[in-house]
Structure 1
């Protein structure tokens, strides 16, 4: 299947509309160009890649933890061995206690959060361990906190980015509804329960990490600022931020803000000079109307939720990874034809198509291979508005061999748009 914009030489062989010629390769090259490298570079947890000063700090932190009489673990990772005589080996010599390679990853997270000041990192780690014991963080995953209606809406883990990081989506716009806000945040007890639920979501994200040198050791946070009642949520957001900063250090590899209002962009530009380059490199800001293009840079479209211009619906990932989609771009003033060739008589073709920003025309035709056959209109050309929140989905059973041609007409816009499609062909049964 290839997008092409070549005018049809024969009425029965292709759509009658015209467009500028462009190949699939050029479309895919345009899409790949969106993945331009940024200044961001994720921290390493491989000992051989650490500078000597950081290795010394790691050794010093281990020495401090070794002095603790009790075993300590965080996220199920043992961080020390209690002071006791080591067991004897087969030859009678003292055998070294087994070392969990995940411990270095966890300890480096606390060290980086305190700029490798060993005693500060040690104190932070002890406070985190105490909080987890008091909060019951290890057991929170098994609790039913009564927020089933917020699952997949307010905060949820969904898919992974192009580098394998689990992705956590956050959207608090539903709380602009006063009744919803009161039901969740109406008093101190409700707020405390919501915070516990938000920790539960974070623990799911941590559970998806490998926490091993060279593995995936952080998540991606995508925060939707559309309709967020910032004043009402100030207390909750401050507590969530404090909890995560104190107890989940360096767990976020990148923070993507989408549907950002103009005043947030201004605020960020004002505080930007006071942020470290390392912190700024983790931030990505996308204004409304630019969401899909931004997310596609980091997340494949078949894993981006449909409400953000992707192809992934709730529950799609329960049966394993989805079928990959093909990405392309549509230039302003351009019309593209997507052709699905080689369809046999009796076969059923199913397709999904999404365009970031929409506001263009779409149609579908089936072109039989036999000379003299008539082109069939599968979907009449129609305008797809910018407000469309669902990808296009349809199916067609061919009575004769031929090809399906989807037309995407962006000639009424000057803006380039990202797009993605995938299709399934079920051959005719015997």
Structure 2
């Protein structure tokens, strides 16, 4: 079974700090205004739902404060973010994701929770080399959302409400490139930045080569200042002990933990359709790989031109 309990997530948290307690008088007034707007809209959006815990979850105080932080206490902008968040979640039935929906992706080991940073925030390890293209966009959205929900539960149990991310690029190559899902991840990135950025303490990028740094330079202008400050490039793996105790880090990440992720898929038939999708996708991947070398020079020139334009701007 997966390390996740939806019912447990919906239970009141006694250890998590109440963010509204840190607000000043002006901020508290804006918080109350946002809460009223959220409360009124939630009644409309969840009118057909008899699940009281769902209503409590979508009107939760700390989420409202995080939205205000993200929008510099602009009530209207924060409310718009909340509307997008709840509309998106209801559209994809985010509260009804089942184990079998994401088990095939989960067993790949491309992402798993392990350890915590020095601030006691639980950490998710992402190993991009374990990603095999082929899953549908719908499956990937559910998988990413499931991991986010898992992290929220762990962070609130830890009493911090925040998570850290280790993005391990070691071993990444062309076979891991899933160009069919680029558009999906662009959408997910916006949703995460709008609604979950204030849940993220830091993102540690391991083995960031020149190409990755160049791509990030192009993406960076579209990120908020708060989000930019959360991204840390780690060129020397030994530097990870600055942020984590060695016992909380895998050996390959400069720590002493010998933990090995494993997940036993109880129903192998669940992955048969995905395997078929992967085989079909592999044909496209081979075509992409065959053209990758000849496109490399042109791609570098285009990136260089974009960077020069960015600098001029």
TM-score by length of 1: 0.48
**Cα distance change of structure 1 residues 228 and 166 upon mapping to structure 2, 3 Å threshold:** farther
Cα distance in 1, alignment partners of residues 30 and 208 from structure 2: 39
Distance 1:113 1:296 in 2: 29
User: 1:74 offset after TM fit, Å?
Assistant: 8.3
What is the alpha-carbon distance in structure 2 between the residues aligned to residue 133 and residue 278 of structure 1? 27
Give the SS at the match of 2:115.
Answer: strand
Residue-by-residue CA offset, 1:299-344 (whole Å, 9 max, x unaligned):
22222123323232346899xxxxxxxxxxxxxxxxxxxxxxxxxx
What residue ranges of structure 2 are gaps of 5+ in the alignment? 1-16, 47-51, 264-313
The equivalent residue for 2:35 is 62
Q: Residues 269 and 242 (structure 1 numbering): CA distance in 2 closer, same or farther, change over 3 Å?
A: closer
Alpha-carbon distance, 1:264 to partner: 3.0
Instruction: Name the structure 2 match of 1:164.
Output: 120
Distance 1:276-1:52 versus aligned 2 partners, 3 A rule: farther
Residue of structure 2 equivalent to 1:265 = 213
- Distance 1:196-1:149 versus aligned 2 partners, 3 A rule: closer
Specify the structure having the higher radius of gyration (Cα): 1
Closer/same/farther in 2, CA of residues 274 and 158 from structure 1, 3 Å limit: same
Query: How many Å separate the matches in 2 of 1:236 and 1:268?
Result: 18
Q: 1:144 to 1:117 in 2, by over 3 A?
A: same
2:203 to 242, 245, 255: 255
Q: What corresponds to 1:216 in structure 2?
A: 160
Structure 2 CA distance for aligned equivalents of residues 76 and 313 of structure 1: 41
Unaligned runs of 5+ in 1: 1-43, 81-102, 185-189, 319-430
Which is strand-richer, 1 or 2?
1
> Map of 1:27-426 to 2, 5 A cutoff?
46-68=19-41, 70=43, 77-78=56-57, 103-140=60-97, 142-145=98-101, 147-148=103-104, 150-151=106-107, 153-175=109-131, 180-181=132-133, 183-184=134-135, 190-210=136-156, 215-226=159-170, 227=172, 229=174, 232=179, 234-266=182-214, 268=216, 278-287=226-235, 290-291=236-237, 293-314=238-259
Aligned mates of 2:42, 2:64 — CA distance in 1: 18
Query: 1 or 2, which has the higher helix percentage?
Result: 2
| Aligned counterparts of 1:69 and 1:192: Cα–Cα separation in 2 | 25
1 CA distance for matches of 2:84 and 2:220? 30
* Cα drift, residue 255 of structure 1: 1.3
What do you get for the CA RMSD once the two structures are aligned? 3.5
Residues 45, 254 of structure 1: alpha-carbon distance in 2 compared, 3 angstrom cutoff: farther
What TM-score do you get using the length of structure 2 for normalisation? 0.63
Tell me if the contact between 2:19 and 2:65 (Cα under 8 Å) persists in the aligned partners: no
